[in-house]
Amino acid sequence: MRIYELKEKMELFNHAVEFFWNAWGTEANQHFYKDCMFHSCYTNEELPRFYIMVNGNEIIASYALLRTDFISRQDLMPWFSCLYVKKEWRGNGLGQRLLTHGSQKAKEKGFYDLYLSTELEDYYEKYGWTYMKDGYSIEGEKLRIYVNPSLS
């Protein structure tokens, strides 16, 4: 199993769009994912970046580093987002591996903090993330905001 930045595996681009969209999208926003992911592969900017974990030619997990995670705290960035591991691959430490990879990539890009938002409790703490405070999604949902302090 290897983790690739999406632009390194363009032959899997359409499959990656489907993977992210099936995990996080809605009926109305598939074009949003495709457009964002496409342009991330060709920008010289540090963000956004999409990552896939591949076993053979099968995408089994994903995450993204983004400027914003559609949360009220627009003053914070970058965001670790879209963490998803296929159900049949869960319980094998892949989530932790992706969290570590994302933190390393953020640090390589010169960021001193990395944030994420979630409804989950007691998951990210196991991997060194610190709960900061609550924020609100664009739909008004209250979400927990975490920071990874290990980048400093």
Q: Is the pTM of this model over 0.85?
A: yes
Measure Cα distances from 91 to 24, 55, 85, 94 in Å: 20, 16, 9, 8
pLDDT of residue 149 exceeding 80, the answer is no
End-to-end CA distance of the chain: 29
**CA neighbours closer than 13 Å in the CB half-sphere of residue 44:** 0
Residues 144 and 134 sit within 8 Å (Cβ to Cβ): yes
pLDDT tens profile 2-60: 999 999 999 999 999 999 999 999 889 999 999 999 999 999 999 999 999 999 999 99
pLDDT (0 to 100) of residue 139 = 87
Domain of residue 101, CATH code:
3.40.630.30
Name the residue range of residue 127's domain: 2-151
Instruction: Indicate the pLDDT class of residue 70, thresholds 50, 70 and 90.
Output: confident
Question: Encoding tokens for residue 81?
Answer: 């987002």
Residue with tokens 């960021």: 111
Helices within 25-93 (DSSP H only):
30-40
What is the count of structural domains for the chain? 1
